[in-house]
Amino acid sequence: MPIAMFVKSDMGVLKLDVTSMALLAMWEIHYIHRGIIYTYNAPRIAPHSLFVVISALVFNLANGYLNGRGIGPLSSYDANYLTSPRFLIGASIFFIGMAINILSDYSVFAQRRLADAKKHKDGVKDISSLPPQEKYVIPRDGLFELVSCPAYFGEIVEWIGWAVAANCNAGWAFAFFTFANLAPRGVAAHKWYKDTFKKAYPKGRKAVLPFLW
């Protein structure tokens, strides 16, 4: 994204305004956390196929380029846009979504570590060999009482907020594709929880959107 932002169509170097830099900072905060901090702190991450990795790489390169152009060379933010209601509301939604996303992830991490420690204390040496209903736990507390995948809900909210703040077509396209990607995954995860834990799983929980879906 930074390269796409700074290079103009005539290959000159673009001097960005403070709004574009603020939007870039919000973008980078998310991806630094997701790519480095989250990965470091996750107790265990399921392996992904090479196809999934390559697909994610291609999507993120294209998405970063389009949004970089959208808030860089193709933008027309005036000097007061950073303090406009639209930007402030969008940025607030973005950071609320980010907080939901991060807090939900770390809540799951803490609950997994606590459950794993108890299993080790009970003499279980290889947790990976346990059946799913014993290997995993039903997440509790916070938005987990409302939806199975609050981290997905938070990320959807996050990028809707960024799209509001950025006010560009690429931002709205990214928000749409974020929902189109995460919502079905959330529904699949919700079904897995119900199939795995059966009657023990809370009946009132939705998949991704609190009270709705």
Q: Give pLDDT tens digits for 102-135.
A: 999 999 999 988 888 888 888 887 777 788 888 8
SS3 124: coil
196 contact partners, CB below 8 Å, separation of at least 6 = 132, 133, 136
pLDDT at 7 over 80: no
Q: Residue 42's pLDDT band (boundaries 50, 70, 90)?
A: confident
Q: Residue 208 domain-assigned?
A: no
Domains contained in the chain, number: 1
pLDDT at 38 over 70: yes
* CB count in 10 Å sphere of residue 80: 9
Full-model pTM: 0.88
pLDDT value of position 1: 59
pLDDT value of position 116: 84
141 contact partners, CB below 8 Å, separation of at least 6 = 107
Q: Residue 124 domain-assigned?
A: yes
Q: Residue 207 domain-assigned?
A: no
Instruction: State the residue for tokens 């709004």.
Output: 19
pLDDT value of position 11: 46
Domain that holds residue 162: 2-200
Q: What is the DSSP letter of 36?
A: I
| Mean pLDDT for the chain overall | 88
Q: Residue 206 domain-assigned?
A: no
